[in-house]
Structure 1
């Protein structure tokens, strides 16, 4: 090779090296080269730019100091193994990122470059930042885990719901059989009636809880707030729970401030909060236990506490105890009854009152405490003027039309109202309701909304269009969870009032 050819070859080599350096600088990956021993012996621009290490810090094996301390030994071991065997190097770990001042996940790959005699001349490799991909995969994994957990809890909840609904149905069915065979025995009939009333009340409570959950999750639950005296609500809740407490020989100790405390609250929902907490305390406390209800004023808040000597709550369940479909001990929950959504409702209702609730426990078998914090109504209530004594007047018999596609429901309600002295008629679909209304001319129509052939809304509108229907009282009966509408006077095309079944 003459001098001219040698100069051309050197120029081509320099140009190639410059293109390589430019590529390294421009790429988003870290491109690196080492000598045959795996040491950095030349400057690595992309490594320095990513890690912030200066040349005197990353030369030789100093690059390993940019690795996360927990990853250094493993990555170095993989690198040493690949170098000794002269095989492709692969690893992953966390590498310091100067711009974000944090360790970010990366994948690395290096290949040996061989000399003509077959020995390793150098190594060429790259590190790729995969932090975004890792975080995206982690989010997907976490989402899938949460969905799987939610699906599991939903299945458990549905199994519990089926169990709890079957509970009252069995004695109801038994009592119906007893009524058929009672042959006028007053004692048996009274016992059957009391049992059926008690079990029907349990069914109603289960359904009401489910409806409340649906209303709250869809932001359809409306609070009817006003000035409420705390002590009266507490005593009401304690009285509701007293039979359950006496049955288990529990002692309930109530401690309230000497001065009245007033809240801006919905009295029904506030009583529901305290009743649920007291009921839980009774259910999860061994017979002969003690339950404390304590309330005290703290600044502009009242802090109410329900504490028991019961089964307690594991530390890892304290945060999730208020979650939907979450139960600490499902076998125990089933033995005690309930759907496991009571605490979820309590938390939502407390927050709707601009309050907060916290669960405390020192562990299983060491009791639990639920602390509710609610804002106090600062305004001092005015003295109430005496209310006029109500004068009882005989109930006037009415002509009433019951419209429901559930024939048993329509017939049973008509029978009950007829016993009370009313003149009754029934219909079971929208068109039949219109014909009955025109023929029977009722004063009151109890109208189901979800009717076949013609909906309750359309029946209402058509009745209002008739001269004989303009002053008729129309009451919507519905099992659907929807906003209740009340009007003092019926307007064209509207119900006089709404009622949920």
Structure 2
């Protein structure tokens, strides 16, 4: 019996020993696994670039990785059991102490987002910019037992951002100074050109049989116009760089625009002894467009054709209305086109397809052509097919860039073609027709429109401190049949206007004593001058200058040298009232 009991006890002891051994093995494996995981976590945290600090539920540090030690200047041994805010001391931009996001993580149990660009004060007092975020640590029951805070050094990023902001400010300031310089340059160049253009217009009214004098007059007129266009290009360049290029659309007949463009380019074409072949549809081509900008585009294309061609060349200027199922036009005029030489530029008309969709305008020439490698860059700003010392034809390299921008603002396209150097070139413009392609209104008449009987009783006042500009403009207006009074400063103009009671007044903006804006405001306050048409005549032509004129009470804003056809149109409308 005793022997049996001893045997059972021995077996029980063996089982207990086996179980104990098994438990020890499981524990050793668990400890080993825990050690491996802990080591893996330590190595992982040590290897990442972000600083990592963990704290217990009381906010005291119980772990730091190597990056945190490097950034804070604290070793893990020194930091253990220290308050987290003491080890990770941060300030805001003003130098005020900031509360760690770990506080919210421990208090509210929420993950706090990355805080942007705090200033970390290291143990040695050095500073750097950091971003940080924190999250709570929970046990199996969900209770908060601590938190972990992750932060990174963003000092270089902050420096780069600061430098970028400085560069942006410097660039904006440079652009502002550039715009001011271009506006001032344009203003200073426009003012002396104004009396020159007036004098040329006066000479046109004097019938001279001497062809040499006529030639000199035409050359001066042509060069003044070219300089005025160059100055407009400079201002448009400024608008492009600021993405402020705008158009003012209205319903218009494109045929009328193209005819006027031919007349505008006539002197340059004739100066080169070129033949111009013009072919336009018989019916109106109604589009929604800006007449000034469209004339600028097609005038540039015609002028380029005339300039980039040896004497006695040929130019084809054609327009074609296309139906929706028609192939794109290649820009070649029909066999019956009108050939014009010498002093006459004619226009032929051809019928168009009644199914209207768009219009294609082509300017083709027999000029110097365009090299294949230059075609892709032709519409880029400042690009010149001719460059350096070989350039003979001038220009700023802005005309085609502006043309492309203006055509695209009209919802159209422009392209260039050339078979190569010496083989001529072709520019094709496509524009959408207006949905209502009705009959156009009566176009404004050309030169001499103001010479009507009504002009005899129309009083016009010219106010300009430039005596040459005032006298030449006054002479021109008198030739047109207007009664004129001249003043050279704001106060005397204000006094004279109350006596003269002008129907219209051309007012220079840069007057001494009282500038044109203030003069306009004071004239508007006088009941007897309430209906006087105020026309700003100035060298300032920026959009903000036009807005300022409008705000001061001006009805029109004309830039010097004044476009006389535009002025005549304004005064003719006044005379016909």
TM-score in terms of structure 2 length: 0.48
Name the structure 1 match of 2:429.
Answer: 372
2:452 paired with 1:427: no
Within the candidate set 411, 417, 421, 1:360 is matched to 417
- Within 5 Å, which residues of 2 pair with 1:24-39? 26-27=48-49
Give distance in 2, aligned partners of 1:416 and 1:212.
30
Give distance in 2, aligned partners of 1:19 and 1:372.
68
Name the structure 1 match of 2:370.
Answer: 313
Q: Is the 8 A contact 1:295 1:302 kept in 2?
A: yes
Following superposition, the deviation at residue 356 of structure 1 comes to: 1.5
- Within 5 Å, which residues of 2 pair with 1:315-464? 315-331=372-388, 334-381=391-438, 392-393=452-453, 395-397=455-457, 400-418=460-478, 424-438=484-498, 442=502, 444-464=504-524
2:44 paired with 1:22: yes
Give distance in 2, aligned partners of 1:418 and 1:255.
38
User: Cα 1:316–1:24, aligned 2, differ >3 Å: closer, same or farther?
Assistant: farther
Name the structure 1 match of 2:554.
Answer: 495
Give distance in 1, aligned partners of 2:318 and 2:404.
18
Q: What's the secondary structure of 1:346's corresponding residue?
A: helix
Following superposition, the deviation at residue 404 of structure 1 comes to: 1.8
Name the structure 2 match of 1:278.
Answer: 302
User: Cα 1:218–1:431, aligned 2, differ >3 Å: closer, same or farther?
Assistant: farther
Q: What's the secondary structure of 1:476's corresponding residue?
A: strand
Q: Is the 8 A contact 2:451 2:480 kept in 1?
A: no
Give distance in 2, aligned partners of 1:332 and 1:395.
52
User: Cα 1:417–1:352, aligned 2, differ >3 Å: closer, same or farther?
Assistant: same
2:229 paired with 1:202: no
Q: What's the secondary structure of 1:462's corresponding residue?
A: helix
Give distance in 2, aligned partners of 1:383 and 1:237.
17
Give distance in 2, aligned partners of 1:439 and 1:260.
47
Q: Is the 8 A contact 2:218 2:267 kept in 1?
A: no
Q: Is the 8 A contact 1:465 1:492 kept in 2?
A: no
Name the structure 2 match of 1:265.
Answer: 289
Following superposition, the deviation at residue 259 of structure 1 comes to: 7.4
Deviations 1:410-455 (A, max 9, x none): 2332344455665544333333333443565555432222323222
Deviations 1:301-334 (A, max 9, x none): 3333334443333444434322332222135885
Q: What's the secondary structure of 2:368's corresponding residue?
A: coil
Q: Is the 8 A contact 2:507 2:536 kept in 1?
A: yes
Following superposition, the deviation at residue 280 of structure 1 comes to: 1.5
Following superposition, the deviation at residue 355 of structure 1 comes to: 0.7
User: Cα 1:298–1:317, aligned 2, differ >3 Å: closer, same or farther?
Assistant: farther
- Within 5 Å, which residues of 2 pair with 1:76-115? none
Give distance in 1, aligned partners of 2:397 and 2:528.
50
User: Cα 1:435–1:500, aligned 2, differ >3 Å: closer, same or farther?
Assistant: same
Give distance in 1, aligned partners of 2:477 and 2:451.
23
User: Cα 1:221–1:288, aligned 2, differ >3 Å: closer, same or farther?
Assistant: same
Q: Is the 8 A contact 1:227 1:377 kept in 2?
A: no
Give distance in 2, aligned partners of 1:442 and 1:233.
32
Q: Is the 8 A contact 1:276 1:342 kept in 2?
A: yes
Over the aligned positions, Cα root-mean-square deviation in angstroms equals 5.3
Within the candidate set 527, 534, 540, 1:474 is matched to 534
Q: Is the 8 A contact 1:401 1:425 kept in 2?
A: yes
Following superposition, the deviation at residue 350 of structure 1 comes to: 0.6
Q: What's the secondary structure of 1:445's corresponding residue?
A: strand
Name the structure 1 match of 2:253.
Answer: 228
Q: Is the 8 A contact 1:464 1:492 kept in 2?
A: no
Following superposition, the deviation at residue 482 of structure 1 comes to: 5.0
Following superposition, the deviation at residue 250 of structure 1 comes to: 4.7
Give distance in 2, aligned partners of 1:306 and 1:185.
35
Name the structure 2 match of 1:99.
Answer: none
Following superposition, the deviation at residue 399 of structure 1 comes to: 5.0
Q: Is the 8 A contact 2:284 2:439 kept in 1?
A: no
Give distance in 1, aligned partners of 2:422 and 2:46.
64
User: Cα 1:242–1:470, aligned 2, differ >3 Å: closer, same or farther?
Assistant: closer
User: Cα 1:227–1:190, aligned 2, differ >3 Å: closer, same or farther?
Assistant: closer
Following superposition, the deviation at residue 337 of structure 1 comes to: 3.4
Name the structure 2 match of 1:112.
Answer: none
Deviations 1:74-111 (A, max 9, x none): xxxxxxxxxxxxxxxxxxxxxxxxxxxxxxxxxxxxxx
Give distance in 1, aligned partners of 2:226 and 2:438.
37
Q: What's the secondary structure of 1:336's corresponding residue?
A: coil
Following superposition, the deviation at residue 14 of structure 1 comes to: 8.2
Following superposition, the deviation at residue 276 of structure 1 comes to: 1.8
Name the structure 1 match of 2:340.
Answer: none
Q: Is the 8 A contact 1:445 1:475 kept in 2?
A: yes
Give distance in 1, aligned partners of 2:512 and 2:389.
43
Give distance in 2, aligned partners of 1:493 and 1:363.
53
TM-score in terms of structure 1 length: 0.54
User: Cα 1:421–1:324, aligned 2, differ >3 Å: closer, same or farther?
Assistant: same
User: Cα 1:332–1:370, aligned 2, differ >3 Å: closer, same or farther?
Assistant: farther
